[in-house]
Amino acid sequence: MLRRVLDLLARVVAPLSWEALACAGAVLGWLAGSVLRIRRSAVETAMGRARVPDPRGVAASMYRGLGTGVFELLWLAGVRAERREAAVREHVQLDDDFAVALHEACERGPVVLAASHTANWELAAFGAAQALAAQGRRLAVVVKPQSVGAFHAFCTHLREACGLVLIAPVGAFGVARRSLAAGDVIAMPIDQVPGRARHGVAVPFLGAQALADRAPAALARATGATLLVVATSREGRRQRLHLLAELPPHGRGESTANAWITNATRESTRVLDAFVNADPASWLWLHRRWRAPLEVGGEPPAPLVVPPVPG
């Protein structure tokens, strides 16, 4: 039933102009953030801890951006393939530094993108997939299944229609290695809590201690891939993909592979922290980013207690 509702909404939204989506998104964002106040207190508390100026205003802007993103995805799901491809081409732009780094890294060998939940990250991924397709490559993304089955099916259909190859988290490392060997570029999130504490690295992030997932750096090190840390900003009607850092697989000064993975994970989080501080409304503060790992298959986790990281 929900899937049919989503498909119907997509058909209703499809006739709208792209500019109108921002107006509809502002209303949805206001309802979610100011009327229903979905995690609004937690969002403002986290922003205050990170010393974000004007947490109330920035939070409102974040909800407005999320609402706009919802309508953008509904629109993409409701239009024909030709209009969808043209819209992605028009509304996603790769920063020059990122475009050059991506091309050169692909020429050298495998590439892993350390991605984040910034701006409309789904639309940004569609744009990156389109750019890679022009080079004869695919973008494979590690994605967690949505808790609501119908919503998961809707998102899966749209992602695949926009050229993404989807990798489930269970067994992702092996699948991703094979995908890299086949010439694909792999995108993995760096701003989610890992499933197990031992899979994480203690890092400072936005004013508090958190665990950062080692998986993107571990995959890059294991396969000799270049690790590109990227984030997205919303600039008017467009999503712009930025290169935050480029980390070659063999860093200087690290005595072991584990040291490289740890340092690369910390550096990836550090540059994302700086990006979010410069554009705080772009990041998904709704995330329960500072919680304990769920410890998949194990006992309920203890409260997260992570020692401070020197420096």
Question: pLDDT (tens digit, 9 = 90+) per residue, 80-116?
Answer: 999 999 999 999 999 999 999 999 999 999 999 999 9
Any domain includes 211: yes
pLDDT of res. 183: 97
Angle at which helices 121-133 and 96-108 cross, to 10°: 50
Task: Decide if 68 is inside a domain.
Answer: no
Domain carrying residue 270: 92-282
Whether 230 and 98 have beta carbons less than 8 Å apart is answered as yes
Other beta carbons within 10 Å of 198? 10
> Please, are residues 173 and 167 in contact by the beta-carbon 8 Å criterion?
no
- Specify the number of domains making up the chain: 1
With respect to residue 178, please indicate whether it lies within any of the assigned structural domains. yes
Calculate mean pLDDT across residues 253-257. 71
* pTM as predicted: 0.92
Is 78 part of any domain?
no
Q: What is the pLDDT of residue 254?
A: 61
Is the residue at 249 inside a domain? Answer: yes
Question: Does the residue 212 lie in any domain?
Answer: yes
Query: Is 288 among the domain residues?
Result: no
